[in-house]
Amino acid sequence: MTALIESRIRAIPDFPKPGILFRDLTPLLADGQAFAATVDALARIAGDFHLIAGIEARGFVFGAALAQKLGKGLILLRKPGKLPGETIGFDYGLEYGRDRLEVHRHDLPKGARVLLVDDVLATGGTAEAAIRLLVAAGATVTRAIFVIELADLGGAARLGVPHDALVRY
């Protein structure tokens, strides 16, 4: 099944900036068998948890599918200015730029055991920000899982929680 998943990941050179090799998951999402195999594989590495937190935007796609499969709730970690309620946020550096993540302060029950889901672990800045946010909101992050890990960028070292990925480059 990993071969099927890998075969549906497209590498786009110099997107969105020169020097970035972008790993495009839209062919995988467009292939029902490959998408289902990906969600099944994520379920096998998910471990024990209460709630899923997905990172905008592609983390929502995989996080929502996994939450539905496992009968769990989903927390949205969003780009700034999208959430209508009281938020807490965290600024971070990307492989290509800077950004900020926010979460509704009251969406997470205190002490919730949360599984973090995103599409790609690159420098780890995004996932690190997500983990800090979740901890600031009173959650425990049990594990962070990704479809892809760009291992050369060393993002795993920034997480401070167990992590796993389906495909490593």
Point out which residues bind ligand AMP (CB under 6 A).
20-23, 55, 58, 94-95, 118-127, 150, 155
Min dist CB 66 to ligand AMP, Å, is 16
Q: Give the residues across from 102 on adjacent strands.
A: 78, 89
58 in active site:
yes
Closer to ligand AMP by Cβ: residue 137 or 165? 165
The residue annotated as part of the active site, out of 44, 56, 58, 98, is: 58
Closer to ligand AMP by Cβ: residue 4 or 20? 20
Min dist CB 111 to ligand AMP, Å, is 26
The residue annotated as part of the active site, out of 6, 95, 105, 113, is: 95
Query: Which positions ≥6 away from 165 have C-beta within 8 Å?
Result: 121, 145, 146, 147, 148, 149
Q: In the 8-state DSSP scheme, what is residue 109?
A: P
Ramachandran bin of 159, using left for φ above 0, alpha for ψ from -120 to 50, beta for the remaining angles: alpha
Q: In the 8-state DSSP scheme, what is residue 78?
A: B
| For residue 157, cis peptide bond before it (omega within 30 degrees of 0) | no
Min dist CB 29 to ligand AMP, Å, is 13
Q: Which residues are catalytic?
A: 58, 95
